[in-house]
């Protein structure tokens, strides 16, 4: 009898061990593919590491008909793309290069795992951008600036001798969504990354990534010639400095022949740059472009520049870069944040897009949730990415979207690129929050094809990451698709921005006024609340940032009546009793927005709890506990902002809204210590 009980106990435990998941497999779980197709059902010519990976993926996971993998030089126009065609009794994947075949294999596996049809296929895919790149803000000591999923994946201390299995897992995950480039280190770069010792470590990663089609890039410190090379200065017009960079580039290419190039943050937030020597951004970028050019390398020069200035911070990038239009070499591309301030929950799009008529431009997004509740909040970012890409700049007439400007459609470019700051760390589930994996996934999919909808991307990700059962997919998709707007509502609705606690940017601090410090680091600089109203006047009577937009946008944004209400406080200082389109006053609208944000997060909690039976216990509980934090944080935001702004509006919080549960004075005392997240 004892034995029988033991057997029952073992039997009861088995399902939990089978179904326990930690999120480490991301969207590449393949729960039903115990083993895939046999090797004799795969026809391919050649012996290439990338091709071998493609075949291995099929043998492990593909359960469909026989396949042929075929390289075809006539498909050059598809770049990294591929075709998948049903021909008689087999599927044929064709591409100019082996990496295209691997991308085609991942496409097929995605169709299989999302229960899409794999018969009668006639697919042609071509990437929207040439360079689809992650920017890691990882430091050489293993910390990550704005990283919320643990320490860095890159174990610099162990390299080059000890190799983590996660390096290849990382490359595979990126290849599966078409990401083909990575910047390994923080834009606030240490010159040490260019030392011989570190280049040997970088080589190991480059070698692992190469078969997955991923090129390595490095962030470089503009002062490297002085700091690392012992030169007198790092003036880009100094011949010795130019020679130092040339020698360094040659050294890099000897070690890593397919090295991608440099990412540069210069003359911003105290970083060194060409302006230290009275030179321009173009002087600095071109000097680097020249040394990389013989080996096909590129320079991504960030337009995120702002220094202490009386000018509206939202205007600075435009003011510095527009006068340099046409002065950059053809292997230099200007990397522009999606908005003119800094990765806010919602910003107007950056007016620099389209304004540089003769200079290639690329978007920089942020996948890591620096301003969106870190990895505690469920905020699906595809709608934010799409909002930017689909924004019409009117730079070349109606229909001049940021997507069309940056992908070479409107202005044929030698080089197109798109980037995002990664949210990846050493946590088992890679991104801290299981749902934050969707943002890495969404960026990859949109970099490959920016015409995909947020809904389609969410649908794919949910089915591959959890289950294709519609009882789960439908409510989770609704939650994801509304989550960005929900975060905007409980944090900074109607165009409010940058009212975060200083330094770590977690939580509200609308009262923050860092007297004696930089005014543009203070929340009060951005919301401008007073007895009259709320918001930053960027019209002609204010900072005139509206003048940086092409007609008709300058007039639309310059007029309070025609400004989209979700940006009204971005462009206008609005009276508290101003009547909004729905008849509410500004104060009422603001109050109801905060309340809606809180209610929605509580609805997410209910939605998730009902779905327990569809999810393994570990992931269910992890998401559940994060939603509890998000719900508390939403109330914190609502109370802090409404109680603080109420001091100026002197109006009651509408009585059908839940009463504040905090006292303003208590909220002002909260000081978080965010550890190494700074």
**Among all residues, which ones are annotated catalytic?**
269, 342, 370
Strand runs (DSSP E) across 279-409, as ranges? 298-302, 332-337, 361-366
CB atoms within 10 A of CB 238: 17
Phi, psi of 68 (to 5 degrees): -125, 135
Strand runs (DSSP E) across 97-188, as ranges? 122-125, 131-135, 181-183
End-to-end CA distance of the chain: 60
Would the CA dihedral through 649, 650, 651, 652 be positive or negative?
Answer: positive
C-alpha 299/C-alpha 259 separation (Å) is 12
C-alpha 333/C-alpha 316 separation (Å) is 18
- DSSP state letters, 139-153: -TTS-BTT--SSS-S
C-alpha 533/C-alpha 495 separation (Å) is 14
Q: Kindly provide the b/e burial profile for residues 499-528, where b requires at least 16 CB atoms within 10 angstroms of the residue's own CB.
A: bbbeebbbbbbbbbeeeeeebbebbbbbbe
3-state secondary structure of 59: helix
Is 416 buried (19+), middle (13-18) or exposed (0-12) by CB count in 10 A?
buried
| Neighbour order of strands in the sheet with 82-87 | 42-44, 67-71, 90-95, 82-87, 122-125
Closest by alpha carbon to 248, among 232, 261, 266? 261
Q: Kindly provide the b/e burial profile for residues 607-638, where b requires at least 16 CB atoms within 10 angstroms of the residue's own CB.
A: ebeebeeebbebbbebbeebbebbbebbbbbb
Q: Kindly provide the b/e burial profile for residues 27-52, where b requires at least 16 CB atoms within 10 angstroms of the residue's own CB.
A: bbbbeeeeebbeeebbebeeebebbe
Task: Enumerate the β-bridge partners of residue 533.
Answer: 575
* CA dist list (Å): 404 to 129, 339, 356: 11, 17, 14
C-alpha 239/C-alpha 230 separation (Å) is 14
C-alpha 30/C-alpha 146 separation (Å) is 31
Radius of gyration (C-alpha) of the chain in whole angstroms: 26
Contacts of 292 (CB under 8 A, 6+ apart): 249, 261, 262, 298, 299, 331
């Amino acid at each position: 009898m004892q034995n029988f009980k033991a057997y029952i106990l073992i039997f009861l435990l088995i399902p939990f061990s089978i179904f326990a998941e930690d999120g480490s497999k991301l969207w590449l779980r393949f729960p039903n593919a115990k083993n895939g197709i046999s090797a004799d059902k795969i026809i391919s010519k050649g012996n290439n590491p990338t091709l071998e990976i493609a075949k291995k993926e099929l043998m492990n996971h593909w359960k469909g008909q026989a396949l042929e993998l075929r390289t075809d030089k006539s498909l050059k126009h598809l770049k990294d793309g591929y075709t998948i065609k049903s021909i008689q009794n087999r599927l044929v994947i064709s591409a100019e290069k082996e990496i295209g075949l691997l991308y085609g294999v991942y496409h097929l596996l995605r169709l299989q795992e999302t229960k899409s049809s794999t018969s009668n296929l006639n697919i042609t895919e071509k990437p929207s951008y040439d360079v689809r790149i992650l920017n890691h803000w990882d430091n050489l000591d293993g910390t990550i600036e704005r990283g919320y999923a643990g320490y860095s994946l890159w174990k610099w201390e162990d390299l080059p001798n000890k190799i983590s299995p996660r390096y290849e897992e990382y490359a595979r995950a990126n290849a599966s969504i078409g990401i083909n480039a990575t910047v390994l280190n923080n834009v606030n770069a240490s010159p040490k990354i260019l030392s011989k010792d570190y280049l040997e470590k970088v080589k190991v990663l480059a070698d692992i990534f190469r078969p997955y089609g991923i090129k390595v890039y490095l962030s470089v410190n503009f002062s490297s010639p002085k700091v690392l090379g012992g030169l007198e200065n790092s003036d880009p017009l100094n011949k010795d400095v130019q020679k130092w960079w040339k020698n360094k580039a040659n050294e890099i290419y000897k070690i890593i022949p397919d090295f991608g190039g440099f990412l540069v943050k210069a003359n911003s937030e105290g970083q060194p740059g060409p302006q230290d020597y009275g030179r321009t951004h173009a002087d600095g970028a071109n000097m680097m472009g020249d040394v990389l050019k013989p080996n096909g390398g590129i320079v991504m020069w960030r337009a995120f520049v702002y220094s202490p200035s009386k000018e509206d911070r939202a205007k600075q990038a435009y003011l510095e870069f527009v006068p340099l239009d046409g002065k950059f070499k053809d292997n230099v591309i200007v990397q522009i944040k999606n908005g003119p301030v800094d990765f806010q929950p919602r910003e107007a799009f950056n007016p620099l897009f389209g304004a540089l008529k003769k200079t290639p431009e690329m978007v920089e997004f942020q996948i890591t949730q620096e301003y969106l509740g870190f990895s505690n909040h469920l905020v699906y970012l595809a709608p934010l990415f799409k909002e930017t890409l689909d924004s019409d700049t009117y730079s070349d007439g109606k229909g001049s979207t940021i997507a069309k400007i940056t992908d070479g459609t409107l202005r044929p470019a030698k080089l197109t690129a798109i980037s995002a700051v990664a949210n990846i760390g050493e946590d088992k589930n890679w991104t801290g929050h299981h749902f934050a994996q969707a943002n890495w996934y969404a960026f990859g999919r949109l970099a490959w094809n920016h015409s995909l909808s947020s809904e389609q991307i969410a649908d794919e990700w949910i089915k591959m990451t959890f289950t294709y059962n519609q009882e789960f997919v439908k409510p989770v998709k609704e939650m994801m698709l509304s989550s960005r707007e929900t975060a905007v509502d409980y944090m900074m609705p109607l165009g409010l921005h940058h009212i975060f606690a200083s330094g770590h940017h977690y939580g509200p601090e609308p009262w923050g006024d860092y007297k004696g410090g930089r005014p543009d680091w203070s929340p009060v600089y951005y919301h401008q609340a007073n007895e009259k109203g709320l918001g930053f006047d960027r019209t002609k009577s204010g900072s005139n940032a509206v003048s940086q937009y092409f007609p008709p946008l300058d007039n639309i944004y310059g007029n309070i009546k025609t400004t989209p209400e979700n940006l009204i406080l971005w462009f206008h200082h609005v009276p508290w009793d101003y009547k909004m389109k729905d008849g509410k006053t500004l104060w009422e609208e603001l109050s109801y927005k905060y309340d809606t944000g809180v209610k929605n997060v509580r609805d997410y909690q209910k939605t998730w709890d009902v779905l327990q039976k569809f999810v393994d216990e570990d992931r269910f509980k992890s998401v559940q506990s994060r939603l509890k934090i998000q719900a508390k944080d939403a109330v914190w935001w609502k109370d802090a902002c409404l109680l603080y702004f109420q001091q100026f509006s002197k109006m009651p919080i509408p009585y059908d809204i839940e009463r504040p549960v905090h006292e303003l004075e208590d909220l002002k005392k909260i000081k978080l210590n965010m550890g190494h997240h700074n």
